[in-house]
Amino acid sequence: MVVSDAAAVAPGIGLLSDPLGDRRLNVYALEHDGGWALFDAGVPGTVTGRVERGDLVGAITLLVVSHADADHLGDAAALRALSPNLRILCHAGDRRWIEDHDALVRERYDHARPRYGYGYPTDVLRELRRLCGADIRIDATLDDGSSLRIGSREWRVLHVPGHSPGHLALWHEPDGVLLLGDAVLGFGPPGGDGRASMPPTHQSIGDYLRTIDRLARLPVRLALSGHWPPLDGALFGRLLRESRTCVERDLEVVLEACSGQPRRFADLIGALNDRSRSWPPREDAAYSFALAGYLERLTGQQRLREEPGRTYIR
Ligand SMILES: [Zn+2]
């Protein structure tokens, strides 16, 4: 049982980290019954490439998918083809998208087109669909508060929505280890220079703020995320504070932009990016997730009014 290129981040937990554009993409291999369990699967080739090269040796019998995004589930179908006994688990809230990738692209990545006429170009959507890999079947769903044994650890399942409806994390209190996925995203996942490499992609704002509060109450000693390096308790606390500050700052940017004149969705994407851009312009469209959430929250609180033609005014 070997992972030759993994960094051991805790006893029995290896980090498989690859570049994904300017970011890192992290998958975790956990020792499990003489083989491996995985937390997330990466994109096509992330795990199966290691198996084929002989870098990851030993049966892979369990995969927990943190949420419905291509960079966390894309290698799952190929992995199952290599490991027929693999069981794949997720939270019910993301199950349909994890199983049906055309629906994932249409309803998640292209979410803003029906309502706002805004979205990624066709070639980007096609590439996202490719990164999802083939459709997969989920064997069972995990509920908040349930426990999951992986190797010698009993993990507690946490439902931590906001980035996606059914995002889950795994928490091991005795060791203070949190398998976080993308549950909180600070000002956006860091690139090579440490600054945000893309906009943060939280969406359901009330859920996201509750998730931040919930995670802040845990005595975390090591947080293992999808795109950050391993974070100790202090750095994780900072990420949680940045995640909340980002939402508060962005809500003010949207309100300010809508003061005195009606603004369209695309105008507000521009305002958010102009306020904080540390990424190349091709990443700007990823602010559509958070903006859709901000508009829903601000109109629901009657701090913004929707005008004809889907414009917004304070
Ligand atoms: Zn991710």
| Rounded distance from Cα 311 to ligand 1 centre (Å) | 31
| Rounded distance from Cα 295 to ligand 1 centre (Å) | 23
| Rounded distance from Cα 258 to ligand 1 centre (Å) | 31
| Rounded distance from Cα 307 to ligand 1 centre (Å) | 34
State the pLDDT at residue 294. Answer: 98
| Rounded distance from Cα 105 to ligand 1 centre (Å) | 15
What 3-state class would DSSP assign to 36?
strand
| Rounded distance from Cα 168 to ligand 1 centre (Å) | 13
What 3-state class would DSSP assign to 115?
helix
CA dist 108 and 110 (Å) reads 6
CA dist 295 and 298 (Å) reads 5
| Rounded distance from Cα 260 to ligand 1 centre (Å) | 37
| Rounded distance from Cα 314 to ligand 1 centre (Å) | 33
| Rounded distance from Cα 175 to ligand 1 centre (Å) | 24
Decide: 204 and 293 in contact? Cβ < 8 Å.
yes
Decide: 165 and 94 in contact? Cβ < 8 Å.
yes
- Where is 207: in which H helix or E strand? helix 205-216
| Rounded distance from Cα 261 to ligand 1 centre (Å) | 35
| Rounded distance from Cα 217 to ligand 1 centre (Å) | 23
CA dist 43 and 35 (Å) reads 21
Q: How many Cβ atoms are within 10 Å of 69's Cβ, its own excluded?
A: 26
| Rounded distance from Cα 263 to ligand 1 centre (Å) | 30
| Rounded distance from Cα 185 to ligand 1 centre (Å) | 9
β-strand partners of 87: 62
Q: Render each residue's pLDDT in the chain as its tens digit; 314 residues.
A: 567 677 889 999 999 999 999 999 999 999 999 999 999 999 999 999 999 999 999 999 999 999 999 999 999 999 999 998 999 999 999 999 999 999 999 999 999 999 999 999 999 999 999 999 999 999 999 999 999 999 999 999 999 999 999 999 999 999 999 999 999 999 999 999 999 999 999 999 999 999 999 999 999 999 999 999 999 999 999 999 999 999 999 999 999 999 999 999 999 999 999 999 999 999 999 999 999 999 999 999 999 999 988 999 99
| Rounded distance from Cα 71 to ligand 1 centre (Å) | 5
Q: Which two tokens stand for residue 221?
A: 């000693």
Q: Between vectors from CA 71 to CA 249 and to CA 157, what angle results, nearest 5°?
A: 80
| Rounded distance from Cα 267 to ligand 1 centre (Å) | 26
Q: 């999802």: which residue's tokens? A: 132
| Rounded distance from Cα 151 to ligand 1 centre (Å) | 25
State the pLDDT at residue 6. Answer: 73
| Rounded distance from Cα 201 to ligand 1 centre (Å) | 9
| Rounded distance from Cα 139 to ligand 1 centre (Å) | 22
| Rounded distance from Cα 308 to ligand 1 centre (Å) | 35
| Rounded distance from Cα 302 to ligand 1 centre (Å) | 32
State the pLDDT at residue 84. Answer: 85
State the pLDDT at residue 7. Answer: 81
State the pLDDT at residue 1. Answer: 58
